[in-house]
Amino acid sequence: MFSLRTLITVLAVAALGSASSIGRSLNPAPEDIAHATPREHISARSMPATNARRFALGLPPLAPRRTRVRAPRAQPSAVAPTQTSCNIAVMSSNGTFGFINATWNGFGEYGLFQAEQAGSLEVTISSSGTTASELDLTATNSPDGTYPYFGALLGLASTSSDFGPASYAYLGGITQTPAGSPPLSTGDSSFTAATGTSAVIESAIWRYDPATQSISAQWINTDGSAPATHIVYVGDSNQALIITGSVESVQNVFGSPYPEVTFMCVPPL
Ligand SMILES: *[C@@H]1O[C@H](CO)[C@@H](O)[C@H](O)[C@H]1NC(C)=O
Ligand SMILES: *[C@@H]1O[C@H](CO)[C@@H](O)[C@H](O)[C@H]1NC(C)=O
């Protein structure tokens, strides 16, 4: 029989174990990934996203999703959409990091760089007018055409799906979500395939200014509002590009001076 002391020890160890697993890490822990079977891995953080899978596991169906998706806007009749192809150069106030490599890091995220423009990530932007917003960027040389959109996935350690302090999203390969849409739990992604962990996604998060060739990001919150959005390079072992509402807060939470970066469209060679 368990003595009270043994029970207390067991409880204390369990509490310690759960406390340490809550430790703030930008990406899933390696041991989580090692045990993950892509797309079938189940954990408290990644409950099955479809009712079919939930029923198979004896779980109740998901509550009906209440999302507010803006009605499609009337198309300006005179302006034909233009297609722009870009390689993406990444710079900070200190200079240029290089071009985004077309492949993903071990978490299925963009954030590897290369000096040569040739062979780097190439995206297509469809836009009409001048500075266009809520654009999709489609990767034409994605490592896996199942997730062709260069989009955002809410980060695991985010405190909310809304951008404010300590919320962030990885940039990876995702499926399409409607323009102006809040984060949706639809679709697989390069991140889910690599880590076995699901994350809500947004694809139409880009703004492109043909005059300056600048590409900037705009996350949409769950209430449809458009918070301040910054792109940050997480250049440690994560080798990842993320977007966040607060660069300072991400630097503080993860204890590293990750630089804010900007994206520039460079016409492919
Ligand atoms: C892109 O990244 C991959 C994976 O790290 C690497 O093998 C490849 O050499 C990189 N491409 C270039 C042109 O640097
Ligand atoms: C620029 O370089 C300095 C010196 O290496 C470094 O301390 C600083 O964090 C860098 N800033 C950015 C935005 O990369």
* 78-90 per-position pLDDT tens digit: 566 788 999 999 9
Contact 168, 158 (CB under 8 A): yes
Q: Whose CA is nearest to atom 9 of ligand 1?
A: 114
Q: Can you give the CATH number for the domain in which 36 is found? A: 2.80.10
* 196-244 per-position pLDDT tens digit: 999 999 999 999 998 999 999 999 999 999 999 999 999 999 999 999 9
How many distinct structural domains can be found in the chain?
Answer: 1
Is residue 176 situated within a structural domain? Answer: yes
Is residue 57 situated within a structural domain? Answer: no
* Distance separating alpha carbons of residues 239 and 84, to the nearest angstrom: 27
Is residue 148 situated within a structural domain? Answer: yes
Tally: H helices and E strands in the chain: 5, 14
Buried b (16+ CB within 10 A) or exposed e, 32-50: bbeebeeeebbeeebebbe
Residue 161 domain boundaries: 23-44+81-266
Closest CA to 125 of 7, 267, 22: 267
Question: Pairing mode, if any, of strands 132-135 and 149-154?
Answer: unpaired
Under DSSP, the state recorded for 77 is T
Is the shortest distance between the CB of 114 and ligand 1 below 6 Å?
Answer: yes
* Distance separating alpha carbons of residues 194 and 239, to the nearest angstrom: 15
Is the shortest distance between the CB of 121 and ligand 1 below 6 Å?
Answer: no
Is residue 137 situated within a structural domain? Answer: yes
Taking the CA of 93 as reference, the closest ligand is 2
* Distance separating alpha carbons of residues 144 and 3, to the nearest angstrom: 55
**Ligand 2 centroid, distance to 251 Cα (angstroms):** 13
| pLDDT, mean of each 10-residue run, the chain (269 residues) | 46 34 70 55 40 48 48 58 92 95 97 98 82 90 96 96 92 95 89 95 94 96 97 96 97 94 97
Is residue 219 situated within a structural domain? Answer: yes
Contact 123, 138 (CB under 8 A): yes
Is residue 1 situated within a structural domain? Answer: no
